[in-house]
Structure 1
C-alpha cells in the first residue's frame, strides 16, 4: 500500500465525515501500521545475518569432514584448524538481533497497544451514540404521532444527541407542519445514525487489524527467543570444541544434532515475519475499503 494513495483517499473523504477526531485516529493507525512494516523490514535484515551464520556452520562441518580424511597427513597442531576457524567466525558473528533492534521492537509493540486502547475507547463512545440515536428516533416518532409541538421535539432531540449539524438544521425548521417535520427529523436522525455506523465499521476494522498485529508481534518475540537460545547453545559447543582435538570431535557432533533445530527456528521466524507483514497490509486495505464505502 503506497502511503500517498492512503493520503489521497483520506483527504477525499474528509469533507464527508466532518469528524476531525476520527480522522486523527485513522491517520494514527496508518502511521503505526507503517512503522510496524518498517520493523518487519529490520527483522528481515536480522534474519539474513542469522542465515549467514547458518552458512558458517555448514562450512565448518564440511571443513571437519575434509580434515578428518586428511588427519593422518596433517601435523597435530594444525589438525582441525580450518574447522575451528569457521566455528570462530560463527562465534564472532554473535547475536543477529542487536540492542537497537529490540528497542525498535518495544517501541512498535507499545505503539500498537496504545493504538488498540484508543480504538476501544472510540468504539465505546460510538456504541453509546448509536444507542442514543436509536432511542431518540423511537421517541421522536411517538411524540410526532401524538402531535406534540415541533419546537419541543426539536429542542429535546438536539440537546439529547448533541449533534451540531442536526441542531443547526432544526433551528431553521420551526414553521414546517408537524407531520412533515416528523419525517424530516427522522431522516436527519437516520442520516446521523448511518454516519455513526460507518465510523464504527472503520474503527472496528482498525481494531481487528491492530489486535492481529499485536498477536503477530507476540509470536515474533517468542520465535526470536528460540533462535537466541539455539545460537547460545551453538556458541557453548564451539567454546568446548576449542579445548583440544577430542573436544573438536565432540563439539562437531553436538553441532550436527542442534543445527537442524536452529535452521527450523530461523525458518519459522522468517515465516512469521512474512505473515505479520501480510496481515498488516491486508488490514490497511480493509480499512481503506471501509473508508471508501462510508455513506455520504
Structure 2
C-alpha cells in the first residue's frame, strides 16, 4: 500500500472543482480514431479491444444500476478495481513482451514511462480506498461491541434499564463516528481524477510525436493511450453518476471498436454535462456522493434499534413484547454486521493485492530497463520524466 506521500501530493493539487467541470482535449478523438483503424489491421489489438469493451461495458452498466438506487455499492467499486487491474495487466504483458525493442527507442520508452506514472496514480486511488475500508471496519466494530455487550450482560429485573442504556450509548457512538466515504474521500477521488487527466494530456503530447508507422509503435502507443482514456472515463463515471444514468442508452456493447464507442459516449457525456452547470460541487456531494449501499443498510438498522430502545427507556415499559422487538432488531444487526465485515475484508484484500501487483510489475519493468540500458538522452531510472 502507498503511504502518506501520495495522499499529500494529491491533496496539494487543485481539487476544489466538480468532476463535471473537467474537460478533455478534443484532439483525443484523433487518437481514438487512429486506434479504431489500428484495431482493424492488427490481431493483437483486436483481442485487446474485445476484452476492453466487455470490461468497460460491465463497469459502466453496474454504475448505472447503482444510480437507480441512489447509492454506490461495493460491487461497483469492486468492478472498477478489477477492470483497471485487468486493463493494466494486458498492457504490461505487451510491454514486457516487446521490452528490448522498447528500451532501444527513446521516444517510445518515454511514452511507456509516462504510462507507468499513470499506474501509480491509479494505485493511489486503491490505496485511499483501502484506508477508507479500514476505517469502515473500525466503525463496524463499534456495533459489534454493542451487540456483544448486549449479549453478555445478564438480563434481570434489576439491570434491564442499565443493559439498554449501555447498548444505546454504543449505538450513538456508532452514529457519531465519521463516515469514511463522506466528502473527504470524494475530494481525494476528484483530485486523482484530475491528475489522471493531466497524465492523459502528457501521453497525448508524446503520442503526437510518435510518427513511425511500425507495428510495435502502433500496438504499444494505441494500447497505452486508450487504456488511459478508459480509466479517465471510468473515474468520471464514478464521480458523476447522474450523468452516467442520463446517457445509459449509449452503453450497449458497440459493434465497432472501443475507440469508436468512447468517441460516441464522451460526446454524449459532454452534452449532458453542459446542461448540469448549475449543479455545484457541494450539492453534488450531498445529493449523490458517496453513499455506500452496504453501509447505509447497517445505518438504517442501527437507527431503527435506537428508536426502539429510546422508546423503552422513555416509557419505562420493559414488557416481554417490547423486549422481543429489540431482540429481533439486535439479531438483524448482528447478521448484517457479519456479512458486511466479510465484504469489507474481501474487498480490502482485493484493493491491496492490486496495489502490490502493480508495484511489482512497475519495479520489474524499471529493473529490466536498467539491465538492458537506457537509450541515449532518455529518462533516468528513478521512474520520472
* TM > 0.5: yes
Query: How much has 1:93 moved relative to structure 2?
Result: 1.9
| Closer, same or farther: CA 245–95 of 1 in aligned 2, 3 Å | closer
User: Which residue does 2:127 correspond to in 1?
Assistant: 34
Q: Which residue is 2:140 aligned to?
A: 47
Match of 1:108 among 185, 208, 225: 185
Greater radius of gyration (CA): 1
Q: Which has the higher contact order (CA 8 A, sep 6+)?
A: 2
Q: Superposition RMSD on alpha carbons, in Å?
A: 4.6
Residue of structure 1 in register with 2:379 after alignment? none
Q: Report matched runs for 1:1-296 at 5 Å.
A: 1=1, 17-19=109-111, 22-60=115-153, 63-64=154-155, 67=156, 80-97=157-174, 101-102=178-179, 105-112=182-189, 115=192, 119=196, 161-163=208-210, 186-187=213-214, 190-197=215-222, 199-200=224-225, 203=228, 221-243=292-314, 246-288=317-359, 291=362, 292=364
Could you say which residue in structure 2 is the equivalent of 1:170? none
**1:51 Cα shift?**
0.4
Measured in 2, the distance between the counterparts of 1:25 and 1:192 equals 19
8 Å CA contact 1:30–1:284 kept in 2: the answer is yes
* Deviation for aligned residue 1:242: 2.2
- Determine if contact 2:182/2:291 at 8 Å carries over to the other structure: no
- Give the direction of change, closer, same or farther, for the CA distance of 1:97–1:221 in structure 2 (3 Å limit): farther
Normalised to the residue count of structure 1, the TM-score between the two structures is 0.55
Give the equivalent residue in structure 1 for 2:51.
none
Q: Give the superposition deviation at 1:209.
A: 9.4
Q: Is contact 1:40–1:273 with CA below 8 Å preserved after alignment?
A: yes
Count, aligned residues: 219
- TM norm structure 2: 0.44
The answer to whether the Cα contact below 8 Å between 1:230 and 1:261 also exists between their aligned partners in 2 is yes
Measured after TM superposition, the shift of residue 258 of structure 1 is 1.6
* Deviation (angstroms), 1:289: 6.1
CA distance in 2, matches of 1:288, 1:230: 40
Return closer, same or farther for 1:270/1:209 CA change in 2, 3 Å cut-off: farther
Where does structure 1 lack aligned partners over 5 or more consecutive residues?
7-12, 68-79, 131-160, 167-184
Structure richer in helix, relative to its length: 1
Deviations 1:36-58 (A, max 9, x none): 21111111211111100111222
Larger CA deviation: 265-274 vs 45-54:
265-274
Question: For 2:162 and 2:174, how far apart are their aligned partners in 1?
Answer: 23
CA deviations over 1:173-224 (Å, ceiling 9, x no partner) = xxxxxxxxxxxx654xx44334424534864896799699999xx9982222
Whether the 8 Å CA contact 2:143–2:171 is kept in 1: the answer is: no
Q: Distance in 2 between matches of 1:23 and 1:99?
A: 41
Other structure's SS at 2:120 match: helix
When residues 33 and 245 of structure 1 are mapped into structure 2, their CA distance, relative to the original with a 3 A threshold, is closer
State how far apart, in whole Å, the 2-side matches of 1:41 and 1:196 are: 37
- Alpha-carbon offset, residue 128 of structure 1: 11
The answer to whether the Cα contact below 8 Å between 2:197 and 2:232 also exists between their aligned partners in 1 is yes
